[in-house]
Structure 1
Amino acid sequence: MIDSSVVLVAGDGRWLSPRRVTVSASENSPYWQADITLGGEEEFLQLETGEQLTLTMCGYTFSLRLDERGENAQGPAGRTWSAKALSPVAWLDTPYALSGDISFLAGTTAKEAVESLLGSVVTLAWSLPDWTLPTAGLAFTSATPLAAARSIVEAIGGLLESRPDGSVVARRRYRVAPADFTSAVPDVNLYDSEATVRSTSTINVEIVNRLTIGNGGASDSSSDRIEFEADTNPLSGTVRAWPSPWRPVSLVHTGRPSVSITPKGIRVWEIEETVEFKDGAARLSTPAQALLEVTWLHTDLGGVLLDGDTLTASYGLGYSLAKVRYSTRAYVWAVADDQVEEVQFLLEDADE
């Protein structure tokens, strides 16, 4: 919507001048999304990821945080700057929140568990029957706080939904029980005849062979690594990539045109794990950027050298266990599809 009532203010009180704003939310998403065309390059440069934004339009005030910003240049006179903002609860999910093991003691209620997962980031309104978690307790493995909260709410047929002010409500997915469908009075009736706009088009997909030419020798090789982690919604997930050697890359796919890829930038985090040294060498579960700490749990095999995901001890071909802490970095993309299918993701060297 574009009119004089649209107001966009940054967290420090700066008034911005958006050229276009689209705000949307879907049934399966726990947050609002605002797609914004900014007024100029100065606004683009001043905004930082995670910054608070307040958007007023159509009589509503939306509390948002900046998720990403972009620039599109089509010649000197064809430059535009854009930004995408999400409700604050999105910062409790990947890529902004790390996955981990989460557990609750027996006797905890569902509302108490969800409130503790959302923490101080958002306030929760509970509009569901509350229940006590199983007597054996409840545990999640490798889950973000938002993913765990959604699983608890969805267990009783509910969903988490952001309000414009940034708070979250846990409500019934269907406001009328199936047994009452025939007697319920609808607020609005929509029929096929009211679909006033319909379009159909065919898409020609370019299929080409790709040839990479380098100036290295025949012994040079690349060992890129790609991982996919599915969301609770099976049609979306996260792709992480560790290019080796590290270099600018982009993600492409071999699926249908409806497959979407949204860059989330480069993520850096720390990992701690126990590794087994055999013949003086060990393998990490994830390619490392830097080795931060090594604690020998058995025989001390001396200093340790890092090469990608391989560790080599300086004292020769011994055997031992070690607890290691290291940092890793990866490119992150959010991917989604509109139907279940097998999709191949590939890394492509980006233009520098």
Structure 2
Amino acid sequence: MKFETIAIHAGTKITDTHRPAVQPITLATTFEHHEDSVIYSRSSNPNRNALENVLAKLEHGEVAAAFSSGNAAGMSVFQALEPGSHIVAPDDMYHGLRNQLLGIFAGILDVDFVDMTNPQNVKNAVKKETKLIWVETPSNPLLKISDIKSICEIAKEKNITVVCDNTFATPAFQNPILLGADIVMHSTTKYLGGHSDIMGGALVGKTQNEFWDKIRNVQISGGAVPSPFDCYMLTRSIKTLPYRMKGHAEHAGIIATYLENHPNVEKVYYPGLKGHDGFSIAKGQMTGFGGMLSFLVKGDAVKADRVISRLQFFTNATSLGGVESLIERRAASEGADTKTPQNLIRVSVGLEHLDDLLDDLNVALE
């Protein structure tokens, strides 16, 4: 099956005797014991099984595990590591998972944050205790691009697991497993959900190995699993993912070019711009550049906040990936320890009419 067909059909597993065209929601928490049956909804559920099946196929993996949030998905990887393990992570990393490593896992796991746009930095950071390389590309919020294939080659020499956060790119535009990664991570709250009304996370494994079994044990024993209703809604949303992403990427590319040429914009971060430092790598490993961009307003945080306050169709809100355009001064959301420039504005470009979005930005940036 092609990508669009997988998105529509791989998440439909009919168990109802009436044979509906759409899989019904199974709300039961427990099930009658019989051979090959679902036993208890924390360990498995028909809707979660269907969701995990479509996720695995979209990312070219053998197995998948759905979680109640992206943070829960990422945390399960860290929990599966042995105490004392060393992690190499990107210097521009989603702050929620970064805070986990620096807070919850402080003294349990050792981590070094490096600029992964240069694979040599990753190689230099590897120690004998290194068990995990965490890749995030494009990164949040600076849209840095890491060469997944090169990093995976470094990892394989040392038998190190590579996990790639593919939330910004989605499987519509990037497949890390095909580039050598062992596990792909998603905040399904974002583009996979696509409508800002579902929270979830997911991991897709290239193979079911010993480390994957540890992650699955964390999922089941920890119990941070999505509800049957959330799984149903995610599976439904994934059916339109291929076509939504085409629209997001088209709009983002045009808006990025507009911002790049605006006199009140200092810099634009979007991997689809030829002037982006990671353009050539992104072009080689992505089939589209996604719907996320960031830019620096000429001025300070006050100026950036003023621009945001004048917008009509961009909602000033955290998160991303919905059909509506979202915008925020990212440093304000990340807290006092942020490394993000105070005048950086992150944009999740939505599917409104492009003319309305451009007119809105033009007024705000006057």
Q: Calculate the TM-score normalised by the size of structure 1.
A: 0.27
| Structure that is richer in strand per residue | 1
| Structure that is richer in helix per residue | 2
Q: Which is greater in Rg?
A: 1
Q: Calculate the TM-score normalised by the size of structure 2.
A: 0.27
